[in-house]
Amino acid sequence: MKKEGVCPPFFILSFILAFYFIMDELISRPEEVLHCSQCQTPISSDHKFCVNCGFPERGSDREKSGFHANRVLNARRSQMAKKEIKSGRNSLLIIAGLSFLFGIGYFFLHDDTATLIASGILTIVYLGLAYWSQQRPLIALVLGLLVYLTTIVINAIVDPETIYKGIIVKVLIIVFLSKGINSALQLRKTQI
């Protein structure tokens, strides 16, 4: 005789096994992981953009083309900034050469050893800054500009006529160093 309201053990067992297999399938099923088509970084299913490079993997075609356009634009800016930094570095080398030539010329004309030593020290400082600008362009170019401006001011205090001597060369050097500093700042912003 069959009792009402009581499930046979077979139904309970089959329900538990079905529940177990369904849960096992859901838990063991690997989540589909999408990889960024630009940098191959795994992207979780709830993200639209790659967390590494910012590519809109699940974005519209317009967003994707905008990403590529920005990447090309940043690469071009980076190339231009590196050229400007190189001209700033060349300005430091020119200042070093002029300082060296001035020191030697002044030594032979006036037999002044102190000016020769000061010019030699400045030459070494400018050469060091030019070399350092390969690794740290911003700080090296800023220091180069500060040393150059300090030298101009000290020379003007000692002999006020030196302000106008070589004014075109002084202005050009300041302009090239300033452009190099600006480009180093722009390059730093694109790398951040």
- Positions of the chain with pLDDT lower than 70, given as ranges: 1-15, 17, 19, 21, 23-33, 191-192
* Residue 90 identity (one-letter amino acid): N
Q: By the 8 A CB rule, do 188 and 138 touch?
A: yes
DSSP category for residue 161: G
- What's residue 38's pLDDT? 81
What are the angstrom distances between the C-alpha of 192 and each of 48, 186, 188? Answer: 21, 10, 6
Whether 138 and 125 have beta carbons less than 8 Å apart is answered as no
Q: Given this model, what pLDDT does residue 142 score?
A: 94
Sign of the CA dihedral with 41 first, then 47, 51, and 56 last: positive
pLDDT of residue 17: 67
pLDDT digits (tens, 9 = 90+) for 23-64: 666 665 555 667 788 888 888 777 788 888 888 887 888 988
- Distance of alpha carbon 185 from alpha carbon 170, whole angstroms: 23
